[in-house]
Structures are given as structure tokens and as C-alpha cells.
Structure 1
Amino acid sequence: MSIQDKEFSLEAVPQSSRKGFWNILAVMLSLSFFSASMWSGGTLGEGLSFTSFILIVLAGNLILGLYTGALAYIAAKTGLSTHLLARYAFGKKGSYITSFLLASTQVCWFGVGLAMFAVPVSVATGINVFVLIGVFGALMTISSIFGLKALAILGFISVPTIALLGTYSMTDAVNSMGGMESLLLYEPAQSMSIALALTICVGSFISAGTLTPDFTRFAKSTKSAVSSSIIAFFLGNSLMFLFGAVGAMAFGIADISEVMLLQGLMIPAIIVLGLNIWTTNDSALYASGLGFANIFKLPKKYIVVFNGILGTIAAMWLYNNFVGFLTLLGSALPSIGAIILADYFLVRRGKYAAYGTMEFKSLNHVAIVAWIAGVALANFVPGIPPLNALIGTIIIYTAGMKLAASKETSAVQLTTKDEVVRDY
């Protein structure tokens, strides 16, 4: 690995390079200020009463907070990214599979997000959409090269800006409904089931949440890593859902950028959408760089540039053709996080050998089977898909590893007895 790689793509982050609570919180908040969460909030707003919406968002973000907080704890304890942590559970070559899935998904989402910003801005301003994609794709790629430092700076700028403009839009929407009393009395024209609502709330971010270790590995302590993750979801993600939902309840439109345009807030709409997608896309490129670095053993910054160019070139194609596939692919990611959690907390009891001294298996077949089973549970079993994947994968992996350990012990005992008999 190049000594110039200051993002520690292929090693644990040393304590000397760790960051304080506020830096990590800014990064995690910018990660949770996610455009899809606003649109998902709008979808919930069209199908739930305001009271039901609040309960669903609190429950969903509790699940997300616990999931990402647990991953953040492991990352801060070990200093390792999601991709390097995967080596303990999946094996060295097994981690290449997970890294490819995680990294490829993030590159695709970068392209989709880029087009999601360029298309409405082009409609509002008349600027050619491909010019906007090229310019903003280049700018997002450049800022992502600088790693966690750039993400923290962008977070300090974008988070309060989005919060202020979103609050203004939400307040205006409430006033247009007749005030808080009308909002509290709001009933949707067509109700949404609790299971579907919780699936939308949790599912909108659990795939990206699987990459939490990529950012929280820089935390100086497990306390700051866990608390910043939980705060980011209860504050950041809840706000995003709230902004989208209230606009949908007032105007019947799930897309907050369209709501802002109706409110006569074209410039704020562009700013909110731009900053929102910029922070998400930078995080996506950063995470994709770490994933492919695990496979190709190249410094992250070179991979980030390549991924940014690829995502920019393919942006409109991804926007028009790939969202459905990405959603399906996203259902494959929570099981990866579940296996990492089960391996660390349940199988190895929080005792990982230092990364530099660890000799990894080539491939852990139990992890692969558990991952496939988790994807199947998410897609084909009734219930709440993200929870099906998380709980089912944890149970299958833990049981599988204990069964494998039992067989190994039995094999060793049989070999020993056979040697004793032959010696006799």
C-alpha cells in the first residue's frame, strides 16, 4: 500500500489519526441527511396520519440507530472499515465478494444521485442536463478525494443549511394547512399498513448504514462513535423524513424539491437538493473507494477518481434504468452487516486478533450460506424485509459457526483416538 494513503484503506486507523466527537458527528449527520429519506418521508406522509408517522419514524430510526451504533462500536474498537472487518467473518477472498457488492452499489447510487440533482435543476434553469452532470460530477469527485476531512467540512456546511431551509419549508407547509391543529388532524386518502411503513423507513437507509464503519473507524472512542451514529439517525434521518412528510401532507407531493418550487423557493430548493445529494454522493464515492481498495490493493484516492468518472458518464443511464435493480441489490447489503455483528459479538465475543497479525481464512462458507439465506428472507418471506434479513442472518450465521466448530472439535477428537489406537 502506498505510504501516501492517509485514509488507511488497507489497515487499521491508528489512534494518532483519530478524530473527535464533533468531526464524526458532522460526517454521520451529512451521511444521514439523505435525499431518499425525504422522498421516503413524503411517501409515508401520503399514507399515514401525522401521529402514526411520528411513531413509525421513531421506531424505524431506533432500529437503524441500534444497527449502525453496533457497527460503529466495532469500527472504533478495531479501527477497521466494513471491508476489512468482513475478512474476519467471510475470509479474505470472501470479503472481495462483499466489497464488490458494497462498492458497486455505491458507485451506481453516485450516478443516480447526480442525475436526481441535475434533472430538476435543468428543468428549473434551462441549463443542459449533461453539462450539469459533468460539472457537478467533477466537483463531487474532487471533494471526495480529500477523504474524511472534506466530508467533515461539507457536513459542517450542509447540515445546518439543509436543516434551516427544510424547517422553513415545513413551517410554510404547516401554515398552508391551517396550522398545527390541522396537521395533527390530517388523515391520508389511502392508508398504508404499519409493516409497509416500517419497511420503507428502515429500508431507505439500512443498506448505506452497513457502511457506517467506513466513517466511525476514525472515532477516538467507542462512546463517540456510537453516540454520533445514534444521534445522526434520531436527529438527521428523522428530520429528513419529517421535511418530506409534512410537504406531502400539505401539497400531496412526496418530492420536497417540487414542494419548494410550489412554495416559490426555487433557489432554496436547488441548494437543499444540491447539498443533500452532494454529501450523500461524497460518502458513496468514499465508501466505494475503500471497497475496491480491499480488492485491488490500490490507494483509495485513485479508485475514487475512476469511480467518479464512471458514475458521471453512466449517470443518466443509471437514472433511467437502474433504480429498481439497485433497490433489489440493496436488499443484499444488510445481511453483510448482520454477519459482521454476529461474528464479533456472538461468535468471537468481542475478541478480534489485531488486523496486522491475523491470518484469515480464504473463504468462510458458513458466512456465504448465511448471507444468501438472509437475502432470501428479505425478498421472499412475509414480514418486514430488513428485519427478516438482520434477525434471520444473525441466527443462521451464529448457529452455523457453532455447528462448524463442533464438527471440527469432533474431527480432532476422532483423529486423536485413531492415533492412540494405532500407537497401541
Structure 2
Amino acid sequence: MNEKQNQNQHDAYEHAFERVPDSKRKSLLSLIIVLAGYPIALSNFVIGGNVAIGLSFSEAMLALLAGNLVLICIVVATGIFAFRTGLSTAFLSRRAFGKSGSSIFSILLAISAVTWISLNGDIFARLIDTTFGWWFLSIPVTAVICILLWMQSAIRGFKGLHFISALGVPAALIMSAAGVIAVGIHTSGFEGITEYVPVEPITFTAGSAAVVGGWVFGAVITPDVCRFAKKESHVLIAGAIAFVIGCFGLQFAGALVAISTGYGDFTAAMAALGLSLIAFVAAIFCLWTTQDNNIYGASLALQNIIKETSFYGKITHKNIAVGISGLAALFAALGIYDHIIPIISNLSVLITPVPGLIIAEEAIVKSPNSEKVVNWFGIIAWLAGGITGFIALQANFFIPPVIGMGTSFVIYVVLGKLVCKNVSTDKSEVKA
């Protein structure tokens, strides 16, 4: 096999099994475009709106800033380790969990991605149905069509993500800004917004937790893109810009609209003001640039599982992406909308501690477990983080995802250093 054929083979698997080569690293602008495309999502309008109507304006802004600062720290820290190793999120997790342990995490990533894709397919189908009275297709059929469209960029790998994001990011931002300006005009320029008093107040903890919890899954899988960076500084710059624009920017817009109209849902607020078409066009790009990233990330996660089977190297990225999209389309067609929220809530408790493990391994323990079947102290730290995060969520204490990540980080460091120390001592005794 010549060099060109060998490179084409690696491209077919989207460099899932090895570090991204220097020749395939992308520019800072490309990194910003693709990373920004992911958090530019309708859910961020909703998160910003719900936080804003439950807090005073100043508290809401503080909650949005605090939550996004946590997300950016996760993105930058894990992204830098992805740059150094050239590995995706799933394969990076091997260094903390071992082979089988990382497969469990990969399954959770894939399930989470599929549920989010199917949920958004269902939501967008309902939006189409309510926006256009003449629409003749059923909601399940419409949802399937939407998901199959999102699949078109995901199956083409980084190139496909970049193409859609290059179109979608500017379009989504322009249409969103137009919507906010229109709402401002209809509401006397957001008059009295700083004096807003919530009718049904929520706590600052609940508000900041909603911001982090709503997008921590997205932050966790950003290494899938950051591994294409050329420099560490590019990860820092691109990650900060992408989440300031995509997460905080859209949440801020959602907050303004919600306080001014009383609607926490951006599309509902726009519809009430007769601006459904603007909201619909913005939604097209917001959803596409996010869901193709979910399909892409789920494909890489499944490749991590496949690597340990007889199918290793036999199933391309495109084939897996098609399978994931098909499964999500099936769930959407079966009406998963009514059952999916509890699934997502429970999965998020187990996914949020993982950045703590990755950061602890790469920054402090530095004893990769990629060749182990299971790294048990990684599993213990993971479960401990999930349990404490769940308890914090039920008790409405601090920011539950941060509690989970912090717990997993501390326990992994303690156990990792203890195990490494014992191993080193044993080796010294044998040598003596």
C-alpha cells in the first residue's frame, strides 16, 4: 500500500485509531468555525431564557458568566490534552479507564448523542408543523428527514462539519440578532429590563447548574475537534471564542427575549410577536451545526468500542455515522420526545465527572492506562463523581456538574498517585 492509499484509509476512519497527523491539522480560523458551530443551538436560547425569568437581571448575567466559565475551562483543558495526544474524547478516556472501562463511557457518549439527535429531530419537526399550516407530512416523517439531512455533513468528517459551520454560524448569528432586535423594537427597546423581578424565583445554584448541565456534554466531546489544532494557543483562543459566542451569546439573547416577552422559549416568544419565520430560519442553522457534531462524536465513540472486536478497521466513519443517524431517526419516529428527558438527565450525571478524570490523568497522575483492560481506580473515581453530582443535584447544592468533576478529579489523583507509588516501591524492592 502506497502512502496515498494509506492516508486515504486513515481519512476513511477520520483518524479514530491514531493521533491526527501534523499534515491534517487545521488553521485557527477553521477550528473556531467548527467549534462555534456546536454550541450555537436552540437549547441555549431556552437555557438563557429560563435562567433569566427565574433570577434578577444581574443575578442571571452572573449565573450565565459563571456557568460558561466552567464550560470554557473544560473545553480548553481537555482540548489541550487532545491536541497533545491527537486523540478523540473516547480514545483519550482510555488513558484513564483502560480499554473496557472506556468502552462503557463510549457507550454512554453514543447513547447521549443519539438521544439528543432524536429529541432535536422531533422538536424541529414540531416547529415546522406549527410554523407552516400547509405542511402535509407527519411529525415522525418530518423528524426522520431532518436527521437524514444533518447526517450529510457528519458522514464527511471534519470537512463536512467545517462546510456547514462556515455557512451556519454567520447565518444563525445574523438571524438571531435580527430576532432580538425585532423583539427590542416590539418591547420599547427592552425598557426596564434591569429592574426585572422574577415571579417564580429560582436559586443562583439552580441557574448556574442549568448552564453547566445543559452544555457539559458538548464541552466533554470538544476534544474530537480540538485534536485537529496546530498549537495549544489555538485551542485556548478557539475554545473561548466559540463558547462565548455560541453558549453565552445565545443564552444572553434568550435572556433578553424572555424577560421582555415573558416567554422562556425563544421560538415561542418570536411566534407570539409574529416573527416565526425569523425564528425558523435561525433554528435551521442552529440545529444543523449542532446535531452533525453529535453524529460525528458518536461515531468516534463507537470506533473506540469496535477497536477491541473482530470488526476493527472494517467499518468506516461514514458507515457508523449512517447507522447512528438511522437509529436516531427511528427513535424520533417512535415519539421518543415523551420519554427522553429522564434518560438525558440520568446520563448527564455519569458523563460530567469524566473531564475531571481526563484532566487528573494528563496533568498530575501521568500514568496512562490505555493498554489495561480496566483501570479500576478510574472506575471508582468516576462512580464517586457521579454519585456526589447526583446528590448535589437533588440537594440543589452549588453546581452539581462541578461537584461531580471535582470529586472524580481528587479521588483519581489520590488513588492514582497511591497506586503508582506502590508499583514504584515494588519495582525498587525487586531490583534490590
**TM-score, normalization: structure 2?**
0.91
Q: For 2:426 and 2:288, how far apart are their aligned partners in 1? A: 54
Q: Secondary structure at the match of 2:15?
A: coil
- 1:66-215 equivalence runs, <5 A: 66-126=73-133, 127=135, 128-215=138-225
Letter in 1 for 2:325: G
- 1:288-299 equivalence runs, <5 A: 288-296=298-306, 297=312, 298-299=315-316
The equivalent of 1:12 in structure 2 is 19
Shift of residue 45 of structure 1?
A: 1.6
Q: Secondary structure at the match of 1:205?
A: helix
Kindly tell me: are residues 37 and 359 of structure 1, through their superposed partners in 2, closer, same or farther at Cα, counting changes over 3 Å? closer
The equivalent of 2:63 in structure 1 is 56
Is residue 315 of structure 2 the alignment partner of residue 304 of structure 1?
no
Shift of residue 57 of structure 1?
A: 1.2
Query: Cα deviation per residue 1:87-145 (whole Å; 9 max; x = unaligned)?
Result: 11111222111111111211111111111111121122242212312221221112211
Q: Which of 279, 282, 304 is the matching residue for 1:269?
A: 279
Shift of residue 15 of structure 1?
A: 0.6
Q: For 2:155 and 2:409, how far apart are their aligned partners in 1? A: 35
Greater alpha carbon shift after TM alignment, 290-299 vs 127-136: 127-136
The equivalent of 2:371 in structure 1 is 360
Query: Cα deviation per residue 1:281-302 (whole Å; 9 max; x = unaligned)?
Result: 1000000000001111332211
Letter in 1 for 2:21: P
The equivalent of 2:404 in structure 1 is 389
The equivalent of 1:321 in structure 2 is 339
Shift of residue 3 of structure 1?
A: 4.5
Equivalent pair of 2:95/2:370 in contact (CA under 8 Å):
no
Identity of aligned residues (%): 28
Query: Cα deviation per residue 1:45-65 (whole Å; 9 max; x = unaligned)?
Result: 211222222222111111111
Q: For 2:45 and 2:250, how far apart are their aligned partners in 1? A: 5
Equivalent pair of 2:385/2:407 in contact (CA under 8 Å):
yes
Shift of residue 406 of structure 1?
A: 2.6
The equivalent of 1:22 in structure 2 is 29
The equivalent of 2:364 in structure 1 is 346
Q: For 2:144 and 2:212, how far apart are their aligned partners in 1? A: 32
The equivalent of 1:37 in structure 2 is 44
Q: Secondary structure at the match of 1:32?
A: coil
Q: For 1:385 and 1:319, how far apart are their aligned partners in 2? A: 25
Equivalent pair of 1:9/1:299 in contact (CA under 8 Å):
no
Equivalent pair of 2:183/2:270 in contact (CA under 8 Å):
no
Equivalent pair of 1:174/1:183 in contact (CA under 8 Å):
no
Greater alpha carbon shift after TM alignment, 121-130 vs 335-344: 121-130
Shift of residue 176 of structure 1?
A: 3.3
Is residue 348 of structure 2 the alignment partner of residue 330 of structure 1?
yes
Equivalent pair of 1:207/1:331 in contact (CA under 8 Å):
no
Q: Secondary structure at the match of 2:221?
A: coil
Shift of residue 179 of structure 1?
A: 2.5
Letter in 2 for 1:190: E
Equivalent pair of 1:177/1:183 in contact (CA under 8 Å):
no
Equivalent pair of 1:42/1:241 in contact (CA under 8 Å):
yes
Q: Which of 423, 426, 429 is the matching residue for 1:408?
A: 423
Shift of residue 203 of structure 1?
A: 1.1
Query: Cα deviation per residue 1:210-263 (whole Å; 9 max; x = unaligned)?
Result: 001001111111111221011111222111101211121122111111112122
Letter in 2 for 1:335: P
Greater alpha carbon shift after TM alignment, 25-34 vs 234-243: 234-243
Equivalent pair of 1:143/1:282 in contact (CA under 8 Å):
yes
- For the aligned residue pairs, the C-alpha RMSD in angstroms reads 1.8
Greater alpha carbon shift after TM alignment, 140-149 vs 284-293: 140-149
The equivalent of 1:371 in structure 2 is 382
Shift of residue 335 of structure 1?
A: 1.1
Greater alpha carbon shift after TM alignment, 112-121 vs 292-301: 292-301
Greater alpha carbon shift after TM alignment, 305-314 vs 44-53: 44-53
Letter in 2 for 1:347: V
> Which sections of structure 2, spanning at least 5 residues, go unmatched?
1-5, 307-311
Equivalent pair of 2:93/2:358 in contact (CA under 8 Å):
yes
Q: For 1:359 and 1:29, how far apart are their aligned partners in 2? A: 30
Q: Secondary structure at the match of 1:118?
A: helix
The equivalent of 1:217 in structure 2 is 227
Q: For 2:158 and 2:325, how far apart are their aligned partners in 1? A: 16
Q: For 1:416 and 1:3, how far apart are their aligned partners in 2? A: 42
Q: Which of 225, 240, 247 is the matching residue for 1:230?
A: 240
> Which sections of structure 1, spanning at least 5 residues, go unmatched?
353-357, 418-424
Kindly tell me: are residues 197 and 4 of structure 1, through their superposed partners in 2, closer, same or farther at Cα, counting changes over 3 Å? closer
Q: For 2:153 and 2:172, how far apart are their aligned partners in 1? A: 19
Shift of residue 319 of structure 1?
A: 1.2
Kindly tell me: are residues 179 and 268 of structure 1, through their superposed partners in 2, closer, same or farther at Cα, counting changes over 3 Å? closer
The equivalent of 1:421 in structure 2 is none
Equivalent pair of 1:61/1:234 in contact (CA under 8 Å):
yes
Equivalent pair of 2:113/2:294 in contact (CA under 8 Å):
yes
Letter in 1 for 2:390: N
Is residue 271 of structure 2 the alignment partner of residue 254 of structure 1?
no
Greater alpha carbon shift after TM alignment, 167-176 vs 210-219: 167-176
